[in-house]
Structure 1
Amino acid sequence: MKKSLIILVIIAFAFQSCEKEDDLISQNCEADCTEIVGKLMTDDGTTPITNQKITVVWDNTSLGFGTVRTKATARTDSNGDFSISFFMRDDELESGIHRMRFDRLNENEFLRSDLNGMPSIPSVRDTLVVRNHNIVKKAFVNLTLLNLDDIQGSDRLWTNFEYPRPSGFSQSIDGNIRGWTNEFDSNQLLETAGNQPVVIEIVRKINDITTRENDTLFIDAGKTLDYIVDFNN
């Protein structure tokens, strides 16, 4: 059997070995329930994401093997609020993790359109968990990099775009770090956060001396901001 065919067989077996189960009856629990309440928002935690289906699963998989069990579903209301209650089985208290997920949002509008960044749910019965989550909208920076040819030897240039999360919220993405050399084009169109503050840190290492410079930007979602970084300045 050829090596490529063997790999395909292994991959197919791995997918078949991940079992999916429904346990939606658990959301009808009346005692020892785990309850999750929170908000699903955007625009720095100010605009609700409405009528979004949220699902809680128990994930007990590793390398494609194991079980993913659907526990409960709910939808956000007009304020972005949601509430989910369900019962954790004995085996769920011993292994695996409980996590939340939702259908992906419009990737043309949002910088990161899934529940990346939302903490997992503690495997504890009869408890209340608060999960407020901000999903970052997309904007752009038209970055002009000057004097890249002067980056030589051990010299370095980085741009670190940070997206501070609203207080009390987890967030789908917190930033993006890029390193630049003399091999890059001087013009770069970068995706970044829109409708919320963006802190850009510019780090230069010249002749083994490192300096840092900070600036704060605000870009309307879907719009592009021109920005210049000079390696020598």
Structure 2
Amino acid sequence: MSPKNPPFECGQSPASPVIKRLRRMLTLSTEDLMDDFGEFSEFVKELNDYCWRLTKEEKRFLDSVLRLEKELKDSASFVIAVENVKECHVEVTEAVDSQIEITKETMDVQEEIMGICFNEERRVDDRLAMLNKEMKPLLKRKRALQGEIRDDITKLISRRHSLVDLLDKQGELKEDLKPIEENMVKAKRVKRALEEMHRIAVADAGELGSSTVP
């Protein structure tokens, strides 16, 4: 008896324990069976060691699990790889779909913002048109004021020239005034002397008496 085979009762097939294990494993899903392929393969190999002692039904069972083991060995890695690729593809697709939805939502928000901006731009254009209408008379008035300012500047310059001439004339008059003031001092002295002489003459005339008056 193989050391890894448990003892069996008389009349019981020596392969019964491993058959039970295989039958228990066959209750798993195909995916779980692919994941536990190593253990399943060990049990199949162990059962195959009893092939010369198996009954007809047990041999048919052995053939079935041998075919299954071979297909699992040949195809399980391919199936797992394809399923992994599919799962990865699904995840990537979901991520892309999510990004598409987010992008659409942000585009909707951006379109709303653009609509608000367009409306605001129209209001600004309307306001500018109104301001342009209001500016026309203001510009006309500004040009008129600029003309008046130019005329005033011309007049101011002319008057400044006149002022310079007058200041020069004033300076000349001040210079001319110096000898005049000197003569005025002399004239005042002469005038006072004349007034004094006049007073004396009047007094002397009064002393002559009325008889001498013609």
More strand by share: 1
Compare CA radii of gyration and give the structure with the larger one. 2
More helix by share: 2
TM-score, normalised via structure 2 length: 0.18
Higher relative CO (Cα under 8 Å, sequence separation at least 6) belongs to: 1
TM-score, normalised via structure 1 length: 0.17
